[in-house]
Amino acid sequence: MNAFNRIAEPALFVQQLYAHSLSIRQSVAMTQPLTEALLAEDHERVWAVHEQICRITDEVGQIKLSLYAQIKNMHFHPTGGYAISQYLACQDKVANSAQEFADLLVLRKTAIPIELHADFRAFVSHVVNVSRGATCLMQGLSPEAQTLCADTELGGLPDPVREVCDGKGQARRLRRKFTRRVYSLEEQLDPVAIMLLDNCCAVLHQVADNAEHAADYLCLMVR
């Protein structure tokens, strides 16, 4: 049985679920202007974007409470309650990791060597694209929440399921590549900067990894 059949108003629930997913996507997307501000050493801009991410995280928390209230009696459903709660848990981790990335960048004024800029941008861009793909899956839910259908509105992802699946593991490879570049320049970087960048890599990888897991649970929810 489709998980959503056990919810009183499935169409409304899906709308809220999509609003939750979209807010998380917006939070993750903000990591790009945050990164650009860091690379430009525009620390005022770093703080401004950090504040935007904090506000979005608060919005996500409010929507999440409403969603959990609607599924509290579904946990013994064979797939439904478990899949939905796990999906929300993964999305929580995505939002928390995006927030943690922002928090790390306001800890200190860190100058990033220009040799690292391209790899850092590539890593962040991939993480944002993974989150975007997971949101496309959510937007692909039909109004009746019965099936996943092709997305035609976000442009460039005609098969969001395949898109997310094909990208699995790429974040890990980009993380390794960037980390190698960081340590190749360790004579130019102070130890605290290296530690900071290493932590940034870890939380960005968590964003991508949990977005992929969320997509897996979303597919399970509509089987």
The first and second tokens of residue 52, run together, are 């935007």
Domains defined along the chain, listed by start: 8-221 (1.20.58.220)
User: What is residue 155's predicted lDDT score, i.e. its pLDDT?
Assistant: 39
User: What is residue 105's predicted lDDT score, i.e. its pLDDT?
Assistant: 94
The first and second tokens of residue 96, run together, are 């928390």
pLDDT exceeds 90 at position 27: yes
DSSP 109: -
User: What is residue 8's predicted lDDT score, i.e. its pLDDT?
Assistant: 63
User: What is residue 151's predicted lDDT score, i.e. its pLDDT?
Assistant: 40
Is the pLDDT higher at 31 or at 8? 31
User: What is residue 30's predicted lDDT score, i.e. its pLDDT?
Assistant: 96
Q: What is the mean pLDDT of residues 92-112?
A: 93
Return the exposure string of 92-130: e unless at least 16 CB atoms fall within 10 Å of the residue's CB, then b: bbbbbbbbbbbebbeeeebebeeebeebbeebbebbbbb
Q: Tens digits of per-residue pLDDT, 137-189?
A: 776 664 444 444 434 343 333 455 555 555 567 888 888 889 999 999 988 88
pLDDT band at 222 (very low <50, low <70, confident <90, very high): low
pLDDT band at 1 (very low <50, low <70, confident <90, very high): very low
User: What is residue 44's predicted lDDT score, i.e. its pLDDT?
Assistant: 95
Residues in the chain: 223
**CB neighbourhood size of 208 (10 A):** 28
User: What is residue 223's predicted lDDT score, i.e. its pLDDT?
Assistant: 57
* Percent of the chain whose pLDDT exceeds 70: 76
d(CA 108, CA 43): 9
User: Which residues make Cβ contacts (< 8 Å) with residue 214, sequence separation at least 6?
Assistant: 87, 90, 91, 94, 134
User: What is residue 163's predicted lDDT score, i.e. its pLDDT?
Assistant: 56
pLDDT exceeds 70 at position 111: yes
User: What is residue 139's predicted lDDT score, i.e. its pLDDT?
Assistant: 66
Q: What is the mean pLDDT of residues 192-212?
A: 92
User: What is residue 147's predicted lDDT score, i.e. its pLDDT?
Assistant: 45
